[in-house]
Amino acid sequence: MQYELTCACGWTTSGDEEEIVEAAQDHGRKLHNMEVTREQAMAMAGPAGAD
C-alpha cells in the first residue's frame, strides 16, 4: 500500500509504510530536532491519492 505523509511544516513524502516512516524520522531529526515514532508517522499519513 502506498501512503502520503504531510508534515506540519508543509513537507511531504510518499511511498510504502517503511519508506514514509524512515523519511519522516529523518525529516523530524534534521528539520525539527525531534524523534518521530512509527505511530506518529503513520498518524500523519494517509493513503496516496486519497484527496
Binding site for Zn ion (CB under 5 A): 7, 9, 11, 31
User: What is the rounded distance in angstroms from the CA atom of residue 20 to the CA atom of residue 13?
Assistant: 6
Least Å distance, CB 10 to Zn ion, is 7
Name which of 7 and 48 has its Cβ closer to Zn ion. 7
Name which of 11 and 17 has its Cβ closer to Zn ion. 11
Q: Any bridge partners for residue 17, and if so which?
A: none
18 close to 29: Cβ distance less than 8 angstroms:
no
Least Å distance, CB 48 to Zn ion, is 19
